Amino acid sequence: MAFSFLNLLKPKSTISVSEIISEIDFKGGTKYAENSSNTVYLDIEELGGFPFIKTMIIGDFSTKIKRIGCTLSFIFENDSLVLSSDNNDVESNQIKNTPAYYTEIDFELTEEESAKISSEQVLEIQYTFKDKILAFNPIPNQIQ
């Protein structure tokens, strides 16, 4: 095999974030909502008798927030519910050798809020990070 500078100068093929998301088989949560470039995995869990929401955003979204956290809003037909993040520091991590990121965020929750999310139809969820709002459309019948 002969050495060629042409092979060194060829542009590397890049993988799009949407291709990466479609290939991910994340077992740590239930695929709950998505938008054009991100997917949200969301589960209602219980720790020490207290419910909380465990979420993971996978896609091109990346952030690093200190001391103020973020909020998660569930938009229903005639109402909405806003939850505050459990931790005030939120940071995205890059998925190795890809242009995609994952962001893990937990939210405080009461029994009543848990029941409302499980029983009513969610039309949209919105994450609010400082001055940026990420909106997602739920995938039907994903969480109960």
Mean pLDDT, the chain, as a whole number? 87
Q: Where are the alpha helices (DSSP H) in 10-110?
A: 17-23
Q: So what's the pLDDT on residue 9?
A: 59
pLDDT bracket for residue 45 (50, 70, 90): very high
Taking the CB of residue 123, how many other CB atoms lie within 10 A of it? 12
Q: So what's the pLDDT on residue 86?
A: 93
Residue-range domain boundaries for the chain: 28-138
- Second CATH level (architecture) for the domain 28-138: Sandwich (2.60)
- Only one residue has tokens 């219980």, namely 46
User: Do residues 109 and 125 make contact, with C-beta atoms less than 8 angstroms apart?
Assistant: no
Retrieve residue 2's tokens.
């002969």
For residues 50-78, give the mean pLDDT.
94
Q: CA-based Rg of the chain, rounded to a whole angstrom?
A: 18
For residues 3-28, give the mean pLDDT.
68
CB-based contacts of 137: which residues, under 8 Å, 6+ apart?
A: 33, 34, 35, 124
Q: So what's the pLDDT on residue 77?
A: 93
Judged against a pLDDT cut of 50, whether residue 144 lies above it is answered with no
Judged against a pLDDT cut of 50, whether residue 54 lies above it is answered with yes
pLDDT tens sequence across 68-112: 999 999 999 999 999 999 999 999 999 988 889 999 999 999 999
